[in-house]
Structure 1
Amino acid sequence: MQLLKISIAGLALVLSFGSCNNEKGTTKEKNEKEVVKQSPVKAEQVAVYYFHSTRRCATCQAIERVSRSAVKNFFEGNIRFVSYNIEEEDGAAKAKEVNVKSSALVIMRDGEKIDITDEAFMNARSNPQKLKALIKEKIEPLKKS
């Protein structure tokens, strides 16, 4: 019986990760997406990059929404938030530069990469305030130096 419970829990976990790329964004989100060419970020600047694929689950969409909001609210335009689709040419190039291969949320400065992808997936939907606080916590020391 215990083995059955573990197997079912394992299967549920695998299916939840597998579903991450199986839902297309809603029409509303596509209409709200910013269509702005991003200027390059200087190496000494702090930037938050969110990498995603074309098809995204609700958690992936929440990561972008919560992260963008945190950067905007805490840093009032002084920190860049850039979302890249890794299935498009510019997104694939940036992902290669930053050395990510799939969905990722990273904070960059001077070539230093702070990867908070795991925390983003754990908290974007269930505890967005925790994700926002983490983003602020990780960026503050980078701003000061």
Structure 2
Amino acid sequence: MLKLKKREQLQWNMVIRTRYHFLLVCLALSLVAGYTASCTAPSAANGGTLSTYQLEINLLGTKNRLLVDSQGRPKTNVEISSADDRISLSFNKGTVGLDKDQRPLQAIDAAIDPSPPPSPKDAYIVGAVYDFKPEGANFKPQIKLTLSYDQRELLEGLREENVYIACYQDTGWGKLLNKKVDTESHKVTSEIDHFARFAVLAPRVHPTSGMPLVPSDKVEVVYFHRTQRCSSCLYAEKWTRYTVETYFADELASGKVVFKVLNVEDKENAAIVKKYGAFTSSLFINTIKDGTDHIKEATDVYTLIGKDDAFVKAVKSNIEKSLKGEA
């Protein structure tokens, strides 16, 4: 009888412990859920979290609100412009917008930079430089940025199709991929995955020297990319590599042509990134003659993303010209 009571007591103690542990687990899970919600969504007035909220967007003083969910994703496709139509941002439904701490964006602000950086050596700034905040904001997938320009500021002989949007950060100016120039409305559009300072740039027009060409000693084909890569970036690397390895195999073997793929955000590449003036995904051809670098960005390939034959043809042509000494 005594043994039976002890057994019943042990069983009862086990039930109590099991319930106690279950309550502890439930409490822990509720705390984790509460913490996660507080990190991903703005708080409501009653201390809870909002399923949707209004993202404040200020473009050159024009204020708008964009309805987004708790993860910072727009509920619909939307395009927002400044009152003077100098800046436009286009968001696709479901685009995730996060700040530098990977939390949903609370506000977006774009203003004219009162202290713009100097122009790069091979181009000049057309109009203003725009500073987009918050610093470190990033988007996945990319959003579209459209900037207008005054065609009267373009140098004589320059085609409007040659203007482009560039991004400025610590390493200097970097040309954006996938540009689209509307010569009727005088606007240029590119895709961006983060905020920084942006401007419309135009290449400087250089007169033809008329000097005979001297074949290059060496040609460096360098493709730069960022850590976070998009499909266009991967496409450009894939087909550039294909072109080099298919049509310039002998030159690769002899060292006449060198192909490199480098991450602009890798500290080990800081020197070469600075040398080429790269910032984001970009393809450069360096024609080296008598030990002197003649670096040129292959801008013509950016509009050919997704067009395999045309892309390969453009890259091949750039390398062939470089081998002939056309710097």
For this structure pair, what is the TM-score category when the shorter chain's length is used for normalisation? 0.5 to 0.7
Tell me what 1:96 maps to: 274
Q: Aligned to 1:133, which of 313, 324, 327?
A: 313
Question: Which secondary structure does the structure 2 equivalent of 1:11 belong to?
Answer: strand
Task: Give the Å deviation of 1:93.
Answer: 1.8
Please say which of residues 92-101 and 78-87 is displaced more in the overlay: 92-101
Residues 66 and 131 in structure 1, CA contact (< 8 A), matched pair in contact too: yes
Q: Specify every segment of 5 or more residues in structure 1 that has no aligned partner in the other structure, as ranges.
A: 1-6, 21-42
Residues 285 and 322 in structure 2, CA contact (< 8 A), matched pair in contact too: no
Tell me what 2:172 maps to: none
Tell me what 1:38 maps to: none
Residues 301 and 315 in structure 2, CA contact (< 8 A), matched pair in contact too: no
Tell me what 1:142 maps to: 322
Alignment of 1:78-93 (within 5 A): 78=251, 79-93=257-271
> 2-side partners of 1:99 and 1:87: how far apart?
13
Q: Are 1:45 and 2:225 matched, yes or no?
A: no
> 1-side partners of 2:80 and 2:245: how far apart?
41
Percentage of pairs with the same residue:
26
Q: Residues 8 and 74 from structure 1, CA distance in 2 versus in 1: closer, same or farther, beyond 3 angstroms?
A: farther
Cα deviation per residue 1:68-123 (whole Å; 9 max; x = unaligned)? 11111110151221000011123222111122222210111121122114x33321
Structure scoring higher RCO (CA < 8 A, sep ≥ 6) equals 1
Tell me what 2:302 maps to: 121
TM-score computed with the length of structure 2 as normaliser: 0.32
- Give the AA of the match of 2:282: A
Q: Residues 18 and 99 from structure 1, CA distance in 2 versus in 1: closer, same or farther, beyond 3 angstroms?
A: closer
TM-score computed with the length of structure 1 as normaliser: 0.68
> 2-side partners of 1:77 and 1:95: how far apart?
27
Question: Which secondary structure does the structure 2 equivalent of 1:18 belong to?
Answer: strand
Residues 85 and 92 in structure 1, CA contact (< 8 A), matched pair in contact too: no
> 1-side partners of 2:301 and 2:229: how far apart?
14
> 2-side partners of 1:143 and 1:65: how far apart?
22
> 2-side partners of 1:136 and 1:60: how far apart?
18
Tell me what 2:89 maps to: 11
- Give the AA of the match of 2:323: K
Residues 84 and 90 in structure 1, CA contact (< 8 A), matched pair in contact too: no
Question: Which secondary structure does the structure 2 equivalent of 1:102 belong to?
Answer: coil
- Give the AA of the match of 1:18: I
- Give the AA of the match of 1:11: L
Q: Specify every segment of 5 or more residues in structure 2 that has no aligned partner in the other structure, as ranges.
A: 1-78, 82-87, 91-143, 147-189, 195-215, 252-256
> 2-side partners of 1:98 and 1:88: how far apart?
15
Alignment of 1:43-82 (within 5 A): 44-78=217-251, 79-82=257-260
Aligned residues: 115
Higher helix share: 1
Task: Give the Å deviation of 1:8.
Answer: 6.4
- Give the AA of the match of 2:226: S
Q: Residues 8 and 123 from structure 1, CA distance in 2 versus in 1: closer, same or farther, beyond 3 angstroms?
A: farther
Residues 304 and 311 in structure 2, CA contact (< 8 A), matched pair in contact too: yes
